[in-house]
Amino acid sequence: MNLPVHILTEGAQTFQLAKLKENRLTYDFDQIWAYFECKGKLLFHENFKLHKTDKDLLLKLCAYFLNDHQLCKQFNIDPNKGILLTGPVGCGKTSFMKLLSTITPKKKTFDLIPARNITFEFSNQGFSVIEKYGNYKSLCFDDLGVEPNGRHFGAECNVMGEVLLSRYDLFVNHKVKTHATTNLNAQELENRYGNRVRSRMREMMNLIPFGSSSSDKRK
């Protein structure tokens, strides 16, 4: 049985994430929250739980990925840009992005790739890797900014800086979105990649930060 896109099942549990009225979906955030708690236990570990302190942030991210233009406008989020999700180590950035990719099961939203994997790939394969990730897919670079520089046959390269410049060209010319998670603040990102890259990141991504008091949920 094929359920509508706004009704998801996990095992014996069914979650109606939205109600359809006059050809318009109205989402139920409490149902989305319950679905994420269930899905998180399956994806990560049985003790996974969401924290109420992150509720507002998760609502913003849901508004974006569910393409709720009214809520996006309320939160000052540009739905045509990507997402830069920032916060301290262990606050849940990667988990949130993985969960968010599951609420639109019939639409591939993005591929999530650790930034460090790309630099390791560059060290093995060279500059073709930069072209590879400057492609037409929507991507999310996980843990951006803490990866090492790549080195291929003695040539050192700030690989992710070059990839981000390529992604900017995709954004401008083809409206392809780029997302990222990072532990770094704006100044640290500029120090890592330079002013040119940081300026383009501002242009092609919405900044959505965890609160500075967010705890390390891995403890």
pLDDT tens readout for residues 120-137: 999 999 999 999 998 889
User: Considering the entire predicted model, what is its pTM?
Assistant: 0.91
Could you report the per-residue pLDDT of 166-203, keeping only the tens digit for each?
999 999 999 999 999 999 999 999 999 999 999 999 99
DSSP 154: T
pLDDT at residue 218 tops 90: no
- Which of 126, 133, 114, 115 minimizes the C-alpha distance to 151? 126
Average pLDDT over residues 97-104: 91
Better-predicted residue by pLDDT, 46 or 109:
46
Dihedral over Cα of 136, 141, 144, 148: its sign: negative
Confidence at residue 106, expressed as pLDDT on a 0 to 100 scale = 65
Residue 123 CB partners (closer than 8 Å, separation 6+): 150, 151, 152
- The structural domains of the chain, ordered by start, are 80-209 (3.40.50.300)
d(CA 154, CA 152): 5
